[in-house]
Amino acid sequence: MKLKGKVALITGGSRGIGAEIAKEFSKEGAFVVINYISNDRAAEETIEEIKAVGGYVIGIKADASDFNEAKNLVDSTIDKFGKLDILVNNAGISKVGLFIDMKEKHWDEMLNINLKSVFNLSNHVTKHMLANNGGAIINISSMWGGVGASCEVIYSASKGGIDAFTKALGKELAPNNIRVNAIAPGVIETDMNKWMNENEIDDLSNEIPMMRFGKPKEVAKLAVFLASEDSSYITAQVINVDGGMV
């Protein structure tokens, strides 16, 4: 077991990529805290699935984009488990559309949830990791953060911010044995892409060298690697899981 006895907090862990990371972490022996914003049912299903195979997991509902709620989330995790070894900043939203149709509220919402949440959680967690002399932070970015996507300008900007944040914080915390890396997924089969019809799915699949969307588990496997000692000399990196798309 690669994460035996480790405590991991995963934002947006109720569904999609975050839920799969929670399951894979649990299989590797970690105690898992699943954070989510509103979908109690999805969170309960993920929690039940993990418990059914003997995992230890709790759910905490909180808005990761709110600085104080993020602090409570971190404090509650440490109150419960006495420490926090792994943070996965996964919570995120997307909105597809022409840039000229985007309003200030879209910028604020996407930047707050996708990027400010990463600051919030990392800021609170780092203090504990420094005291513990180690830890791992994994940020879920997107391939669009590196190259930009038409009709996803704000989303791309939020993810590009995550990439720069990861590289900078990784360098700053490297002497303290805290590794900070990002995963940049391509198109992954989750609710985030449910808006596409079959033709759109086919067209997009044809643009991917592997000719298919990725599965949440294919992202989660990299998260396990980055959280574990297997990646002990890797920090400040953004690693793509995108079927060769960019």
Which residues belong to the active site? 155
Shortest CB 42 distance to ligand NAP, Å: 5
Torsion (CA) 22, 233, 159, 57 in degrees, nearest 10: 10
Shortest CB 233 distance to ligand NAP, Å: 25
Segment contacting ligand NAP by CB under 6 A, of 101-109, 189-197, 203-211, 228-236 = 189-197
User: Considering Cα of 222, then 114, then 63, then 134, what sign does the dihedral take?
Assistant: positive
- Go through 38-59 and write b for each residue having 16 or more CB atoms within 10 A of its CB, e for each that does not: eeeebbeebbeebeeeebebeb
CA atoms within 13 A on the CB side of 163: 19
Binding mask 157-186 for ligand NAP (x = CB under 6 A): ----------------------------x-
191 sits near ligand NAP (criterion: CB under 6 A): yes
User: Letter for the amino acid at 80?
Assistant: K
Shortest CB 198 distance to ligand NAP, Å: 17
93 sits near ligand NAP (criterion: CB under 6 A): yes
Phi, psi of 26 (to 5 degrees): -65, -45
Of residues 49-68, those binding ligand NAP (CB under 6 A):
63-65
Output 130 or 192, the one with its CB closest to ligand NAP.
192
